[in-house]
Amino acid sequence: MPLKPVLTANWADERAWTLAAYTAGGGYQALDKALAMSPEDVVETVKASGLRGRGGAGFPTGMKWGFLPPPDSADPHGGKPRYLVVNADESEPGTCKDIPLMMASPHTLIEGVIISSYAIKARHAFIYVRGEVLHVIRRLQAAVAEAYAAGHLGTDIHGTGYDLELVVHAGAGAYICGEETALLDSLEGRRGQPRLRPPFPAVAGLYASPTVINNAESIATVPAIVKNGADWFAGMGTEKSAGVGIFSLSGHVTRPGQYEAPLGITLRELLELAGGVRAGHRLKFWTPGGSSTPLFTDEHLDVPLDFESVAAAGSMLGTRALQIFDETVCVVRAVLRWTEFYKHESCGKCTPCREGTWWLAQVLARLEQGQGSEADLDLLLDQCDNILGRSFCALGDGATSPITSSIQYFRQEYVDHLTHGGCPFDPAASTLFGQEVRA
Amino acid sequence: MSIEEKTYAELREIAARYPEPRSGLLPMLHLVQAAEGCITPDGIDACAQVLGLTAAEVSGVATFYTMYKRHRVGDFHVGVCTNTLCAVMGGDAIFERLKDHLGVGNDEVAPKRQGDQYSVSVEHIECNAACDYAPVVMVNWEFLDNQTPDSTVRTVEALRAGHAVTSTRGPRICTWREAERVLAGFNDGRADEGPAAGPASLAGLKLHATRAEIEELTQLIDAPRQGLGLEGGND
């Protein structure tokens, strides 16, 4: 299966981030096409394309847009204002696609924001980008300013009478703000803690108004769909997982990086393109969609990376964040570190996650040091059982994924820590500069 | 030190960007850090006053987010990614070496030595969305890709000595307080520095170009045979 650059196609262009380069490559043509359509037709086009959310959950984007309540006919202003919020808080360990997208071609996202806002009849949109990526924020701010100056944003866009304001909003370091309702609280100037649903954001989102919140890659895909048509997009990928997506290969591969391909490609195919696992080593375990998706092993090289196939194999496609670990990596160390991450990032709102992630980290740390007993593995699984499905949001669920899957596939490796009296692995062997570390 | 009137004006300007002023609180706190060097009681009071909130309400937000510092950081704040992937590929070794080199612990400022132009601080950070460039180090939230312990120590020494250091995928690195001002929404006009993308970001694209060229050649080679009907049933 070949690669298919769509979103990544212009990343190597000279000064790709500028309006001039983007326009020269055909940018903002989709906006003209969309503005000539009715908003409803744009929604229908996105529905028909089969685009599903690229932020991990895979919810159909057009359907999400369709959940907005119809404008209030009794109110001359049509009722409460509607908002579009872009989730560019990319923080899931392993996920690294939206950041290079916004760095290289911020206008792709901005054109998507304008078309999507027009489709859902929003007059105010926000890009919530994590704060820890300074140059990406610079590029977004500059691109938005260029788009205003060119008349793509502001009042009476392209003479159609449509008005849109777009604000680039920098976060301040909190993984939980990638959860859509926590993001909305954060955007309202509060601690980023998730909200009870229902009501869903489509009904009561930002400022309790109807709000669509989509991942940056999802919104950035909209211009290509409008430009090339729903059939073009639906014709790629699989029947239920349409289109292309950016696959991010990282870790022990020869050529880590971004590989844009139709959904349904396999890790075996991607690894072949990326030059394989680093020389002299073999695949041990990997994440299909970030650290919150259950681990896969070399048994899963041929699982088609689409939503259905990955779920059927016991994990989740997530954000297509393929973190590759070879045989030098201790799975217990890897899982402990992820668990410490979830513990640190738990927002504290609900007890199962706040307390549970602390207990998980303590028991795992004990095991990693070769202390405790084999019964601790059952204790861990019991703790996971008390967190999964009992937490307020998906952060708690995600925290259990690496633990349960690693015990499923590598139980013996946990036991080896106990018999060995500590970690049997040499941490220098997994680094890219073993000689420098050992010296 | 009380907040200057210019900063108050800018805080009000941030709040005015939003349909509801409180939405400006996160960027406003970034501006407080630019003006004050960290989140100070005066800065909290200023945000509270502009937004009509209590200091406790603002404080409750400021303490939730890791980018808000309640103590001074260095002119250059070095974050070493020690989340799993970067850690196993060398992040742990970089972090240990850096702490050892600077003689500080996590989230501490290395004292400025005689002759140093700038101070540096170090902390371990979580995944910064650059896993294809692991191990990753951030300086004032600019990317330093594919780092080693040696390269990081060299960078830190260059920063302390006042030499210009450029991000591997971005601009010349500015001071922490200048960076915080950009995060508050006041662009510094330097978006055009640095490349569009680093090599790993282009890995698939470059491969595709090569493959496309190969496919084109293959088609040219196959065309005469297909024309003769020697190849049938291709899908």
Nearest Cβ partner of A436 from B27, B141, B148?
A: B148
User: What average pLDDT score do residues A411-425 get?
Assistant: 97
Could you tell me whether strands A124-129 and A165-170 are parallel, antiparallel, or unpaired per DSSP bridges?
Answer: parallel
Question: CB within 8 A of A317, min separation 6: which ones?
Answer: A56, A58, A241, A263, A288, A289, A293, A305, A306, A307, A310, A311
Contact B197 A321 (CB under 8 A): no
Share of chain A above pLDDT 90, in %: 96
Contact list in A for residue B90 (CB cut-off 8 A) is: 431-433, 437
Burial class (CB in 10 A: 0-12, 13-18, 19+), A421: exposed
What residue in B sits closest to A258 (Cα-Cα)?
A: B201
3-state secondary structure of A260: strand
DSSP string, A59-77: -BHHHHHHTSPPP-TTSTT
| CA–CA dist B13, B50 (Å, integer) | 10
What residue in B sits closest to A248 (Cα-Cα)?
A: B132
Share of chain B above pLDDT 70, in %: 89
Is the peptide bond between A352 and the residue preceding it cis, with omega within 30 degrees of 0?
A: no
Element (DSSP H or E) covering residue A41: helix A39-49
How many CB contacts within 8 angstroms connect chain A with chain B? 272
Nearest Cβ partner of B183 from A170, A325, A428?
A: A170
Residue B216: predicted pLDDT: 61
Residue-wise pLDDT tens digits, A183-231: 999 999 999 999 999 999 999 999 999 999 999 999 999 999 999 999 9
| CA–CA dist A428, A434 (Å, integer) | 5
Contact A432 B203 (CB under 8 A): no
| CA–CA dist B54, A299 (Å, integer) | 56
Reply yes or no on whether the pLDDT at A246 is more than 90. yes
Is the peptide bond between A5 and the residue preceding it cis, with omega within 30 degrees of 0?
A: no
Contact list in B for residue A187 (CB cut-off 8 A) is: 23
Distance, CA of A156 to chain centre? 33
Contact list in B for residue A277 (CB cut-off 8 A) is: none
Q: Which CATH number applies to B5-62?
A: 1.10.10
User: What average pLDDT score do residues B173-188 get?
Assistant: 98
Reply yes or no on whether the pLDDT at A170 is more than 50. yes
Give all strands (DSSP E) within chain B, no chain letters: 76-81, 108-110, 120-125, 137-139, 142-144
Reply yes or no on whether the pLDDT at B230 is more than 90. no
For chain B, the domains span 5-62, 76-183, 199-225
3-state secondary structure of B180: helix
User: What average pLDDT score do residues B96-121 get?
Assistant: 97
Token pair for A389: 């499905």
pLDDT confidence band for B1 (50 / 70 / 90): low
Nearest residue to A268 (alpha-carbon basis) of A279, A256, A258, A276? A276
What residue in B sits closest to A278 (Cα-Cα)?
A: B89
CB atoms within 10 A of CB A422: 12
Residue-wise pLDDT tens digits, A11-57: 999 999 999 999 999 999 999 999 999 999 999 999 999 999 999 99
Contact A131 B190 (CB under 8 A): no
Q: What is the CA radius of gyration of chain B?
A: 24
Residue B222: predicted pLDDT: 53
Question: What pTM did the predictor assign?
Answer: 0.95
User: What average pLDDT score do residues A150-176 get?
Assistant: 97
Nearest residue to A403 (alpha-carbon basis) of A371, A373, A427, A376? A376
Average pLDDT score, chain A: 96
Sign of CA dihedral B11, B14, B18, B23: negative
Could you tell me whether strands A244-251 and A124-129 are parallel, antiparallel, or unpaired per DSSP bridges?
Answer: unpaired
Reply yes or no on whether the pLDDT at B226 is more than 50. no
Closest CA of chain B from A190, distance in Å: 6
3-state secondary structure of A321: strand
Burial code (b: 16+ CB inside 10 Å, e: under 16) for A81-99 equals: bbbbbbbbbbbbbbbbbbb
Residue A436: predicted pLDDT: 66
pLDDT confidence band for B221 (50 / 70 / 90): low
Residue A68: predicted pLDDT: 95
pLDDT confidence band for A437 (50 / 70 / 90): low
Whether the CB-CB separation of A60 and A234 falls below 8 Å is answered with no
Reply yes or no on whether the pLDDT at B213 is more than 70. no
Chain A interface mutation, best of B183, B210, B218, B219, highest count of A Cβ atoms under 10 Å = B183
Please give the DSSP secondary-structure letter assigned to residue A327.
T
Sign of CA dihedral B12, A107, A190, B33: negative
Q: Which residue has the tokens 């808000």?
A: B68
Q: What order of strands is seen across the sheet that includes strand B120-125?
A: B108-110, B120-125, B76-81, B137-139, B142-144
pLDDT confidence band for B212 (50 / 70 / 90): low
Domains, in order of start, for chain A: 19-234 (3.40.50.11540), 244-326 (3.10.20.600), 331-428 (1.20.1440.230)
Reply yes or no on whether the pLDDT at B196 is more than 70. yes
Q: What order of strands is seen across the sheet that includes strand A83-88?
A: A165-170, A124-129, A83-88, A211-215
Share of chain A above pLDDT 70, in %: 99
Please report which residue ranges of B87-202 form alpha helices under DSSP H. Answer: 92-102, 149-161, 176-183
Is the peptide bond between A198 and the residue preceding it cis, with omega within 30 degrees of 0?
A: yes
Residue A154 gets the label, from left (phi > 0), alpha (psi -120 to 50) or beta, of left
Interface pTM (ipTM) of the complex?
Answer: 0.96
Closest CA of chain A from B18, distance in Å: 8
Residue A131: predicted pLDDT: 98
User: What topology is assigned to B76-183 in CATH?
Assistant: Glutaredoxin (3.40.30)
Reply yes or no on whether the pLDDT at B228 is more than 70. no
Reply yes or no on whether the pLDDT at A412 is more than 90. yes
Residue B35: predicted pLDDT: 98
3-state secondary structure of A91: coil
Q: What is the CA radius of gyration of chain A?
A: 22
Token pair for A74: 């009794």
Contact B187 A145 (CB under 8 A): yes
Residue-wise pLDDT tens digits, B111-147: 999 999 999 999 999 999 999 999 999 999 999 999 9
**Angle at CA of residue A381, ends A414 and A397, nearest 5°:** 115
pLDDT confidence band for A2 (50 / 70 / 90): confident
Tell me the CA distances in angstroms from A195 to A173, A181, A318, one per residue in order: 19, 5, 21
Please give the DSSP secondary-structure letter assigned to residue A200.
P
pLDDT confidence band for A258 (50 / 70 / 90): very high
User: What average pLDDT score do residues B202-225 get?
Assistant: 68
Whether the CB-CB separation of B191 and A141 falls below 8 Å is answered with yes
Residue-wise pLDDT tens digits, A331-375: 999 999 999 999 999 999 999 999 999 999 999 999 999 999 999
Whether the CB-CB separation of A125 and A83 falls below 8 Å is answered with yes
